[in-house]
Chain A
Amino acid sequence: MSAEQPTLATLGGSPSSTSKLDRRGASPEGVPLLEVQDLHVRFHREGGQVLAVNGLSYRISAGTTLAIIGESGSGKTVSARAVMGLLPETATVAGSIRFEGQELVGLPEEELRRRRGSDVAMIFQDPSRSLNPTMRVGVQVAEAIRAHLPLGRREARERAIELLRMVRLPSPERRYLQYPHQLSGGMRQRVMIAIALACYPKLLIADEPTTALDVTTQAQIMELLLELQGQLAMGLILISHDLGLAASYADEVIVMYAGQVVERAPTRELFAHVRMPYTRALLDAVPRLERPAHSLLPIVEGQPPDLSRLPIGCPFAPRCPRADDACRQAPPLEEHEPGHWWACWHPHRDDGGER
């Protein structure tokens, strides 16, 4: 990768001189890259509110990977869009989102836009919907670069080709001139990653980056993301429904249910000592190669709660095999063991019993 190094250095150098908000190297020790505190997101609809995120808190440091795990409607994507400032006008955001110590909630759109792409970038599940089908892919990468850097067309083109090489798109000069439909799903996701990396972001949010891809391609893309993360010392937030991905690639895992964090721990700790019954249920329901054919899966009945009518108390209680009267009061998310947080009155013990 030595050929790319000078390019990376210049890509990283230029935005710091152009962005007023950039405090690279100036942030005091101990300030996390991103700190989200008591984040609430509500959508206003006819006939009520949808409580999509309800008191989410987490932090992530440079160079680490945080996985946010949850099912549809758990609030994992909405909270990431809140960090990016990409929510529609019907949304109300409350709480605090600090990037390198600076508050983003309430920041004017103009400044948010400058942050997006230069400091924080996001890639999405479906690369074919995020790319413009009528534009050559290379030009789309070059435009992303020029949106943040004062570069001429030719310089931008050279950088774009470097980026495409960096994400291992085969024969980047030729691919530069192709349109999205001429690339495979895996190649399109590589292009999306190149666009996201155009300005050397400090934080990359990957929302189900491999869900639309085949499993063999998934391994290639995840490997690429981790390698680039190491090279650029990025923070990486991996949003996924797949516990396997979290176990394989994250340093820390957050499990969300109904817009709340129900469990949070370093990856090894979490999978070795699951406490929250919802996390347990998720893990039990994952198809496994080791299970014999025709065995019934341990399941929880019912569905996630309607976010416009959240139950009082623990949101998982209506489906939880351990729920009792205590669960009518919402359990707080607390650090019960070093680094291991959970919100549950009846957590699992290591032997399967109740703590």
Chain B
Amino acid sequence: MTAPPTTNGSRVEMPSGGEALLEARHVVQEFELRNFGGGRGGVVHAVSDVSLEVRAGETLGLVGETGSGKSTLARTLLQAPRPKSGEVLFRGVDLVKLRGRKLLEARRHLQMVFQDPFGSLDPKWRVSEIVEEPLVAYGVGRRAERRRRVDELLDLVGLDPRRFGSRRPRELSGGQCQRVAIARALTLNPALIICDEAVSSLDVLIQAQVLNLFEQLRRELGLSYLFIAHDLALVKQVSDRVAVMYLGKLCEVGPAESIYREPLHPYTVALLASIPRPDPAVRRPQAADAIKGEPPSPIDPPSGCRFRTRCPRAEERCAIEEPPLRPLRPDHLVACHFPLSQAGDRASVAAGPRGALPDQPSEGSGPTP
């Protein structure tokens, strides 16, 4: 039921050609907007032709800012809702084509943990009922067996079943709620857990506890993760590979170390430069290192490269021709006409257009460069 346990040691060597557990192929997700009165109000291009894979036994980090489409992509992978087009292969089977019972059966191997630990648990239920519910829904085992399994799971996530089993969510702290959500996600022995900002609302010490729990479960159960967050430092720390998303498209996908040491896409460079380090000796992030303006609307994304309206390296070609996601280094792909290839390149982008900040920063809307 679980993925091949390649995860015994403390450090896992992920072969770059590991077997794909979950694979998105050219996935498109769009939402139609309605104006008052029911008229058509445009289309939100939330996910536009995204292809990526989560390999067996690995953690793939997916990082992006508000509106990048990362959460929509996660839900689309689970067919909630189904994509407008494209394929989602789980162990080689296209979930988009599955219906009813067959989809349910496949989906039990894919579980999700959300950001808001209180909002994702029914406040009226007891902890043991919350964790047991998926077993009931899938008709697994008899009552006594299910209860034993619930106790086992609560133990596994570090909650004493006797103390916590009969509590309700409001009697728990944020970290404890998140542990319950994780126990619930583990109930059906999933192969993959999708964590959507699963630790983002927790205080840093509690966040560390939950991150360690994820790591311990990965080692013990051979789990794979799709770990979604806006915080690149967090994502980098837990992931074997990292995918960077901007306005519905992937900018860069590659091994976490490689993305951090030698980022190829100007957006990744800007993200890295924007993180304030807990060390006053490191130069603090400057607005100029980051990127100018605000992200454009996904209703009317820029032509060509979607990042070009805020990109320090953009040229005419970027408005005309969309850059394809192509490999530049082993297992490291980038979608950019002018990727950073040399160390000097990176330094110049990080330094940015210093000095004069424009009086009116670019609004970054509309397709005009």
Contact = CB atoms under 8 A, between A and B. Distances in A.
A185 B65 CA distance: 12
Given A288-B233, A299-B209, A244 B238 contact: no
Nearest to A282: B204
A244 B290 CA distance: 16
A71 to B, nearest CB: 4
Contact of A293 (B59, B278, B284, B291): B59
B217 to A, nearest CB: 12
A241 B174 CA distance: 16
A283 B290 CA distance: 24
Interface residues of B, number: 63
12 contacts: A185-B66, A214-B230, A215-B271, A217-B294, A219-B290, A222-B285, A244-B277, A249-B276, A286-B204, A289-B275, A293-B239, A299-B212
Nearest to B357: A168
B280 A216 contact: no
Given A216-B290, A244-B277, A72 B230 contact: no
Nearest to B363: A170
Interface string B326-347: 0000000000000000000000
A141 to B, nearest CB: 17
Contacts of B173: 303
A248 B239 contact: no
Interface string A271-287: 11000000001111111
B215 A296 contact: yes
Contacts of A139: none
Interface in A295-324: 295-301, 303
Contacts of B66: 185, 214
Nearest to B287: A223
B11 A292 contact: yes
A333 interface: no
Interface string B342-369: 0000000000000001011111000000
Given A241-B203, A297-B211, A303-B175, A215 B274 contact: yes
Given A171-B363, A297-B208, A289 B236 contact: yes
B287 A220 contact: yes
Contacts of B278: 243-244, 246-247, 271, 283, 286, 288
B287 A224 contact: yes
B37 to A, nearest CB: 19
A245 interface: yes
B279 interface: yes
B54 interface: no
A219 B286 CA distance: 6
A185 B357 CA distance: 21
Contacts of B205: 71, 281-282, 285, 299-300
Interface in B260-291: 260, 270-282, 284-287, 289-291
Nearest to A210: B276
A186 interface: yes
A248 B277 contact: yes
A268 B281 CA distance: 8
A299 to B, nearest CB: 5
Given A72-B203, A168-B357, 5 more contacts: A215-B231, A222-B285, A247-B280, A248-B284, A286-B278
Contacts of B16: none
Contacts of B295: 184
A218 interface: yes
Contacts of A223: 286-287
